[in-house]
Amino acid sequence: MLDYDIVDVFAERPFAGNQLAVVHGAEELSSDQLQTIAREFNFSETTFPTSIDADHYEVRIFTPGGEVPFAGHPTLGTAWVLRDRGLLSGDHATQHCAAGEIGVSFDDEVVRLTAVPRDLAGPLAPETAVALLADLGLAADDLAGDAWVAGTGLTFVHLPVRDDAVARARPSLRPLSGYGDALTRGCSDPVEGINLYAAMDGSTHVDIHARVFVPGLSVDEDPATGSAAAGLGMALVATGRLPLGGRYEISQGSEMGRPSRLHGEVVVTTGSVEVCRVAGRVQPIAKGRIAVPGRA
């Protein structure tokens, strides 16, 4: 039997945000066994941390449909759980995942990740953006600017629309692999999801209403997506919304009954994006034990 924790990430209260299972002691399990456990929980992601020291750890991240090199809410949730269990100490740690090193920091009730830009391509051809909108049940006149592809370890299409269009969208059943190099040209990481967003200028930051769809990884819709939030900062710079960098606040998940709040910041130095930061709160929900697949 393996111990696990369940937490809600990017949640202002319990039973909101994005669910995460963190499974402990899985060092000797095969990838197939890890995938079986992820399917059993059937959350958007399940993590398996290993090689834990006071200020760093390794992690593998699985969706019900496969392993991913990086994801935001699993990063924050895993770090919070390890610190809650006393396995991490101090206010800073480094996560080692398939996408490389991700910095994590703790500030009172907020956990923050720091990632470096990896993919940025665009703007997409108008006909490609319109086809993506059609996949989501939206029309060409819902588009509200240029679409970009951007990510910091897991790459998303960032598709800007009018605010009323966000709520009208429906999950797409078409994997993004069907678009070929129209989306992936120049990208080093998997392009798996669509970040549909509406941006509204606030007094000191940009307010974002977003929904994220990941049809290629068996995640029809995700209630809170830190990896998409990180890449969005790059897209906001590229589209001129935050040309000098700055903060943005994302509301996501309300259409799923899982309201989420993500705090983003993008830092620009000499005209280029230097780092992307995403922060949020983590709520503990449950602890338990799960059987090891394949063992009697």
Mind listing the pLDDT tens digit for each residue in 77-114? 999 999 999 999 989 999 999 889 999 999 988 999 99
At 202 the pLDDT is 65
Average pLDDT over residues 189-203: 87
Answer yes or no: is pLDDT of 295 > 70: no
Q: Do 205 and 212 touch, CB atoms closer than 8 A?
A: no
Answer yes or no: is pLDDT of 296 > 60: no
Answer yes or no: is pLDDT of 203 > 70: no
Q: At a CB cut-off of 8 Å and minimum separation 6, what does 287 contact?
A: 3, 4, 5, 6
pTM over 0.85: yes
Give all domains of the chain, ordered by start, each with its CATH number: 2-114+282-290 (3.10.310.10), 119-281 (3.10.310.10)
Long-range contacts of 60-63 (CB under 8 A, 24+ apart): 60/34, 60/97, 60/98, 61/97, 61/98, 62/34, 62/35, 62/37, 62/38, 63/38, 63/214, 63/217, 63/218, 63/219
Average pLDDT over residues 131-141: 97
Q: Do 224 and 258 touch, CB atoms closer than 8 A?
A: yes
| Helices assigned H by DSSP within 169-262 | 181-184, 226-238
**C-alpha angle 153/156/158, rounded to 5°?**
135
Among 150, 145, 88, which residue's Cα sits nearest to residue 116?
Answer: 150
Mind listing the pLDDT tens digit for each residue in 23-72? 999 999 999 999 999 999 999 999 999 999 999 999 999 999 899 888 89
Average pLDDT, the chain: 94
